[in-house]
Structure 1
Amino acid sequence: MSDPHPARHAEREDKRTFLQKLAEFIHPGPDSTDELIETLAEAEDNQIINAESRVMLEGVIRMAEMTAGDVMVAAPRMDLIDIDAPFDALLHLVIETAHSRFPVYEGDRENVIGILLAKDLLKLQRAPELNIRALLRPAVFVPESKGLNDLLREFRGNRNHLAMVIDEFGRTAGLITIEDVLEQIVGEIEDEFDIAADQGDIFGLADQTYRVSGDTPIERVNEAFGIQLASDPDSAGDRAFDTHFDTIGGLIAHAMGHVPRRGEQHVQAGLKFVVLHTKGGAVRWFKVSPAGQGADG
């Protein structure tokens, strides 16, 4: 059936005034994401918005083109719990990794059967007869191609804060949290291990050990501990001392041959480096002590 009032329909579609149409013809709006981001930069230059607002708005725009696979924690770096692990081992893993949620698997790491909230372990301490299976929350699975906008909407709607990411063959590719998504907008979310850069990078602790940021320049570590890292690799005979590493985190990761995990230890130049905290595939903090001294805390 035809519209009996086509003129009115057209009028509803375009309510712009002649002056608005003329202004848009003279100064057309952005036609692409890059042009829109350039417009935001101009708005900042003109003091219409501040730098923080521009960064967040850019994050929102860029996030619309990103998927779960772009920001997930890859499977090899995931901290998982074995459903059959003894309670003491389970508790140790929870304390060492300091996560609030853990995927739980049975038999094979690919067989994720649920999500365990760290706070729910308190129920086991109060009632040891409880079966850990009763504490598991349902696991949510999303494809690598899942858009971050849609994923954030789902996180907010179902109150889940973690999802398992699967590849095109149905295998576990990694995991993603609501924090991973939000950081694309607001930048890195600081936690209890994060200390402002102007507060320093090496801290003396009460037990005569030191907390050292993974971003600390090697020269700073050398000066603080009276050692000589990053010397000539030919004379040292060890690739771990290669001069192209600028930070202690990069040097230690190279020496270990893999991305360090929380709780792992490495001895170098007479010092024991214990990984305290990792984030985004990099070491955020080490605990450092003489190699003969315990530093597992």
Structure 2
Amino acid sequence: MSDDRPTSRNPGKKSFLERLGDAFTGEPRDKDELLAIVQEAHQNEIVDDDSLRIMQGAINVSDLHVRDIMIPRSQMVSLEHDESIKEWTAKVVSSGHSRFPVLGESNDEVIGVLLAKDLLSLGLTADFNEEEMQKAVGSIVRDVTFVPEAKRVNVLLRDFRQNRNHMAIVVDEYRGISGLVTIEDVLEEIVGEIEDEHDDETIDNIASNGNGGFIVQALTPIDDFNDHFNTQFSDEEFDTIGGVIMHNFGRVPKRDDTIELDDLLIRVTTADNRRVKAFEIKTETTD
């Protein structure tokens, strides 16, 4: 039957099944064409909303580099090699993370990675003196993996799986520390973040809260934020207002933490252990 079709026919006008077959046989097709096939499958109710989101994420992840998804250095929770065990334990408990870079003599020297479970396995309630405990902790610091900012995310995921590694330190072209990236960061680009049931609803980047203030999503582009609030935050270092605000905090803030910038009172309204997701913004004239 295919012999009866004109050979000059536009591939975009092939039937859905024909294009689906083409996508998985022969030479690789254009990514846009593959995305169109997946979207048509969703329209034809062959795949549901969740499957569509995952398939789109899996296709698009090859366009991302580590720099696009990493946790910036300013937001890293790190341990220093000369800190006491009590200081380490306090950071582990307060942050809720499971893995921590261990810094050496300088902030650009990462000597290893500490897993929280390894620290707990030492039995911190044991009757060790500080020196003995410090030696014991040194023995459980694991080797660290370094990856360049330009590494593709799909390649990073493959390396994580092959090496059974869950975290890597990101370095720039001069081997300076840019941030860190985890396997969770990669997977979230594919399956999306686990949120509340209303995630399917469209959320405005900047929306009135009904009390004279605004709820602003952390991913709001800086230009949009500046236009709305008549501010002049630079977009040279960060693309979103979340990056600017977290940089000024100097850490990953928790819910209800506040900061004042350019006559704006900013309160964190939604956050997890790794990043902020939304803020409440009030101006000086807000009651």
Give the TM-score, by structure 2 length. Answer: 0.65
Write the deviation string for residues 72-98 of structure 1: whole angstroms up to 9, x where unpaired: 111111111111111222111111111
Query: Aligned partners of 1:71, 1:186: CA distance in 2, in Å?
Result: 14
Alignment-derived partner of residue 172 in structure 2: 167
Structure 1: segments with no counterpart, 5+ residues: 1-18, 199-214, 223-227, 231-241, 287-297
Aligned counterparts, 1:40-79, within 5 A = 40-79=38-77
AA partner of residue 282 (structure 1): V
Equivalences for residues 54-203 of structure 1 within 5 A: 54-122=52-120, 123-127=122-126, 128=128, 129-130=132-133, 131=135, 132-188=137-193, 190=194, 195-197=196-198
2:148–2:172 contact (8 Å) kept in structure 1: yes
Match of 2:258 in 1: 266
Please give the alpha-carbon distance, in whole angstroms, between the structure 1 residues aligned to 2:279 and 2:184.
20
Alpha-carbon distance in structure 2 between the residues aligned to 1:102 and 1:23: 60
1:30-84 per-position Cα deviation (integer Å, ceiling 9, x unaligned): 7421222122111111122222211111111111122212111111111111111
Which whole-Å deviations, capped at 9, do the CAs of 1:155-180 have from their partners, x for residues lacking one? 11111100111111111111110011
Is 2:102–2:110's contact at 8 Å kept on the other side of the alignment? yes
Alignment-mate amino acid for residue 155 of structure 1: F
Report if the CA contact (8 A) 2:147-2:169 is conserved.
Answer: yes
Question: Residue 244 of structure 1: CA displacement?
Answer: 4.5
Is residue 2:219 matched to residue 1:219? no
Alpha carbons 1:43, 1:49 under 8 Å: kept:
yes
Paired residues, number: 224
> How far, CA to CA, are the matches of 2:90 and 2:47 in structure 1?
47
Q: 1:282 aligns to what?
A: 276
Residues 180-202 of structure 1: CA deviation (Å, up to 9, x unaligned)? 111111001x3xxx65459xxxx
* Corresponding residue of 2:37: 39
Partner Cα distance (2:116, 2:68) in 1: 26
Q: Give 1:257 deviation, angstroms.
A: 4.3
Residue type of the partner of 1:161?
H
Task: Report the counterpart of residue 15 of structure 2 in structure 1.
Answer: none
Instruction: State the SS of the aligned residue for 1:125.
Output: coil
Cα 1:257–1:136 shift into 2, 3 Å: closer
Q: 1:113, CA displacement in angstroms? A: 0.4
Deviation of 1:151 (Å): 1.1
Provide Cα deviations, 1:178-236, integer angstroms capped at 9, x if missing partner.
01111111001x3xxx65459xxxxxxxxxxxxxxxx996636x4xxxxx656xxxxxx
Counterpart CA distance in 2 for 1:91 and 1:258 is 22
Separation in structure 1 between the aligned mates of residue 72 and residue 78 of structure 2, nearest angstrom: 12
SS at match of 1:139: coil
CA contact (8 A) 2:246 2:253 kept: no
Q: By how many angstroms is 1:149 displaced?
A: 1.7
Question: Where in structure 2 are there 5+ consecutive unaligned residues?
Answer: 12-18, 24-28, 200-204, 215-225, 230-240, 281-287
Aligned-partner Cα distance in 1 for 2:110–2:168: 11
Pair 259,82 (structure 1): closer, same or farther in 2 beyond 3 Å: closer
Residues 112 and 143 of structure 2 are in contact (CA less than 8 Å); yes or no, is this contact kept in structure 1?
Answer: yes
Q: State how far apart, in whole Å, the 2-side matches of 1:279 and 1:22 are.
A: 60
Q: 1:178 to 1:266 in 2, by over 3 A?
A: same
Deviation of 1:142 after TM superposition, in Å, equals 1.0
Cα distance in 1 for residues equivalent to 2:228 and 2:99: 37
Letter paired with 1:125: L
Shift of 1:21: 6.8
- The structure, 1 or 2, with the larger RCO (C-alpha pairs under 8 Å, 6+ apart) is 2
Equivalent residues of 2:73, 2:180 under 8 A apart:
yes
